[in-house]
A and B are shown apart, each in its own frame.
Chain A
């Protein structure tokens, strides 16, 4: 697959429709990217309909039933349709269903309606991607917004949307190389820049579920891995450079150095004059034996030579001083696009650490590559080939842990608990309570050619997925028998996305920040092009011009410094501060002008190349929703209110509307927001991973969470008449209807008689405000937080 072509798809991501293959043809002649042509979709192969997941699902249930029987345990009861539709939405598209979506399912009379729902959701491409992306972002520690991650995250979303087979995806990541704009998967290595060894530990942990990091410093104390195993594994991917440097940057340095050298030789005025470091170097040179020959040839005295040398050295110093401002300009410009390329480093071989303490080798010995288990890889001199072979080994059929780990992760994601736990600390002694189940799932995954969606399709079709949750204590380390799935709290993203669903329409395709992201990619690309892809002869004079500007600034700086210091000394603090502000402004101005001179592929800080930005207009749904938020209005006071009551009504409406606007303006599904979201955002408070360490998302309770739900304007935004739920409430006539609407929207079920009676108790005494109270009460309830 030619990855550079995939860049063209970026802009069409929200509209893309799935390529959903139950039985993909591995060596498909049609490159995946061809599937998307300007947002239209061609189906590569017929979708999920061809594939019947039920026989495999049935087999899984048989294995589990046999296990339960052996354990003398009973499977839990089957859940209601209401529970099923909510659970399935959360599991596949990561949010609760809207009222209409739930009704569509509940009112269907089809005998196959559960299967149809699973199918519909698995083919809801943007919804599925929005949910599944969080799984990857947490595993890969994928932060958005870095130079190197802008394209990477977009590419990951495409891979999920396109349902790239898991093994192929991992192969691309682990063999990632080159410029991220051409091969976004290279960012997999850039993520751990400067930490090659850690990157290997992370690879092994993510894809092979094995913890090697202890063996970096000594033999693993709790597992069989030796330090030698560790270093031999690390040798596969060692010796790549991910840093910000690039040929142009050093080219400019060299060119400037050459100029200084030229000034030196020009001033020396003698052919083949020796190149001296400094004045002290003159005497050293004179003492050398070949100097007398040089004196003879040139017919000059030592004194004359010294004069020439001093002239040459002075000329070089002058040139160096002149260039200093140019050197100073290189950093700020080139730092605008750092860490965007993985390059080979020549002649670097991994060596054992200085304190290597075992008998099988000595400290500093070079380390040959070697796999920790499975097949050996033949030696490759070429580092690129070596990395590719390593990726093949990792994802290959002989690797005993590759398939095992992904099926267990997906199983846990579906049923709340792994077949083995923890999912990423697999050892030879890890107790596996249902080995038959595990190996059946591995076979299935291989048979499905690592089609992740098809595999999940099987899991969703099991009876187990339809069983009541286990909501009792389960202690880590104890076997879990799957009488039903383990009850878990919604993830931060599921909660947030569910709340967004109650406020805004069509949330799966609503992507208000997509345009900004694509623009940023284009700008970064253009910055890179200006600095690194134009001929050096073109870039160098521009950098010099930027240096000229800076040189002017430096002389002004000195003057300012004198005036500011004098002002402070004279006790004129305000004057000093004013001058400081002025100087800051001037500095900023110079930086900006320098950028204008050098970054010729941008105008006003934006990429000129319109081809990149053309497709980035927001999708129709997004435009529509933005309009709805903008058009939000307060409700008119009912006519029966007197003047004073109307005033109070209007004030309250205005305040609520403000809360609605503030909340709705910031809303979109988590996938469209920064990853991680900013600190203090709902998502972070509720445990979204900060993308710092692997699987760092958390569902632990915390006080800020409670405060958020108790006192933030979220519940006001949900009940506001301009929101999805609020507008439905606005048209309902009786309190009973409203109560039912709220229950069906928020909890996807009808309220019980007792619940209706309880709410009506409050309603009788406090009237309409009880409706808002109910929205608040359910938002703060554990039946909302925990998935049943």
Chain B
């Protein structure tokens, strides 16, 4: 870009800056480069994002290299789709392969957890000057809430800090965070009788009269609204969505009794109650040592829970409108290290998509014989996120501005991989 171009761009941005949210990318796209991709017709409405924190080994899960020395002791099993094989520790998911769209050609350069996690969740490099919003926040920003009583996005996991939050968006775009799926929403229930609760509310209201007559600014009113929302939620039947205790024993067994399984079950209930986005985070994939003895346990956990989740989504008729993502920050070194472990490997790794209009029983991209590098159809992390955004009907060229007036898009410069959609 030369200086004149820059000035033109600068002018357009200045003009756009006074109306936050106006896309200038479209203008440029029309002027040159690539033509913009028209938004998807009939996009999916909801998103379940299952995050395998620590770096899930690709070669030991969905990108098997049976017969190659890199494979180690991991063994394959057939799935219900001919030609697709997964590790023997995913027997239930193997029966759902017809619903899975396996992307074996993700590639990145972010090789440490923090940066990789941030990049996967936001499509941007982690910077010390800004925090980028995640997919859930973008989804809410573009499409609003599906259910006004419920939060638009929920994060389930124990991390004290997580990426893919509300970023620089307004506070209402921050996901509601739940640490213990078993306990559900914190302080959602009153420990006193309804009658007394009501009496307390009345007392509180009556004692506010003078203050509210004197002061009426927006923050003060906002607290009034928020109390109304909170009480409405407490009284709403939707509140039960946070309580996995309502599920019968059989269902809970189907998912499993670990926090990730409970998170998936909670995610299903929240999706049923029309929460837009639910992320469930599962840590423990950082198998630097004892990779082959750790993988069975890790795989079993996701195998049961994700299979049950897909079953349930299909049963309640939500699978077609819900994108399910199983992803991670990077894969693991194909060559086994001294500690019989695998180290960080962003060069080639795997993620899985399901529902929401993605092709089922489909494998995209290919790695070399020993799973060392992508040899077919590489997908960058921004591309991967652009694909999810596209599936959800979030325009990938929509520019939004941070409070410091810097322009951002949902998946940075990522382009959706349209072949993944049916």
Contact = CB atoms under 8 A, between A and B. Distances in A.
A580 B294 contact: yes
Interface string A199-212: 10110010000010
Contacts of B189: 711
Contact of A213 (B200, B211, B406): B406
A315 B220 CA distance: 77
B292 A565 contact: yes
A584 B127 CA distance: 36
B290 A583 contact: yes
Given A213-B129, A222-B405, A557 B216 contact: no
Contact of B293 (A191, A489, A580): A580
Contacts of A199: 128
Contacts of A777: 200, 203-204, 207
Given A198-B129, A222-B405, A587-B290, A708 B187 contact: yes
Given A202-B129, A777-B200, A782-B223, A357 B2 contact: yes
Given A328-B339, A711-B190, A776-B204, A583 B212 contact: no
A325 B338 contact: yes
A471 B204 contact: no
Given A213-B406, A472-B216, A710-B230, A782 B196 contact: no
B293 to A, nearest CB: 5
B404 A211 contact: yes
Contact of A474 (B2, B17, B186, B217): B217
A703 B223 CA distance: 9
Contacts of A616: none
Interface residues on A, range: 35 or more
B256 to A, nearest CB: 13
A783 interface: yes
A584 B298 CA distance: 14
Interface residues of B, number: 78
Contact of A192 (B17, B89, B128, B160): B128
Contact of A702 (B186, B226, B293, B339): B226
Contacts of A702: 171-172, 174, 226
Which of A218, A219, A780: most chain B Cβ within 10 A? A780
B230 A561 contact: no
B6 A218 contact: yes
Which of B129, B130, B172, B296: most chain A Cβ within 10 A? B129
A347 interface: no
A211 B402 CA distance: 13
A442 interface: no
A330 interface: no
B92 interface: no
Contacts of A710: 187, 190, 227, 230-231, 234
B151 interface: yes
A693 B130 contact: yes
Interface string A571-601: 0000011011001100100000000000000
Interface in A467-486: 469-474
Contacts of A627: none
A189 to B, nearest CB: 11
A180 to B, nearest CB: 18
Given A328-B339, A587-B290, A699-B219, A214 B405 contact: yes
A755 to B, nearest CB: 6
A773 B200 contact: yes
Interface stretch (A20-28, A101-109, A758-766): A758-766
Contact of B131 (A222, A489, A565, A692): A692
B35 interface: no
A680 B186 contact: yes
Interface in B229-246: 229-231, 233-234
Contacts of A665: none
A323 B400 CA distance: 53
Nearest to A679: B160
Interface string A10-33: 000000000000000000000000
Interface in A481-513: 487-489
Interface string A698-729: 11111111111011110000000000000000
B80 to A, nearest CB: 21
B13 interface: yes
B251 to A, nearest CB: 22
A774 interface: yes
A345 interface: no
Given A198-B128, A219-B6, A222-B405, A701 B223 contact: yes
Nearest to A785: B223
B203 A708 contact: no
Contacts of A778: 204, 207
A472 B219 CA distance: 10
Contacts of A191: 128
A558 interface: yes
A275 interface: no
A427 to B, nearest CB: 11
Contact of A680 (B177, B206, B290): B177
A430 interface: no
B10 A565 contact: no
Contacts of A762: 199, 203
* Smallest CB-CB A-B distances: 8 pairs: A471-B215, A706-B230, A198-B128, A777-B204, A701-B226, A711-B187, A700-B171, A701-B222
24 contacts: A192-B128, A198-B127, A201-B128, A205-B129, A211-B404, A213-B406, A221-B10, A328-B337, A328-B338, A557-B340, A568-B89, A568-B296, A576-B296, A690-B161, A693-B130, A693-B131, A699-B219, A707-B185, A710-B227, A710-B234, A766-B196, A773-B200, A778-B204, A782-B211
Interface of A: 141, 191-192, 195, 198-199, 201-202, 205, 211, 213-214, 218-219, 221-222, 324-325, 328, 357-359, 425, 469-474, 487-489, 554, 557-558, 560-561, 564-565, 568-569, 576-577, 579-580, 583-584, 587, 678-680, 687, 690, 692-693, 698-708, 710-713, 752, 755, 758-759, 762, 766, 769, 773-774, 776-778, 780-783, 785-786
Given A702-B171, A758-B207, 17 more contacts: A473-B216, A554-B338, A560-B293, A693-B128, A693-B130, A693-B131, A698-B171, A706-B227, A707-B230, A711-B189, A758-B203, A762-B199, A762-B203, A777-B203, A780-B204, A781-B204, A781-B211
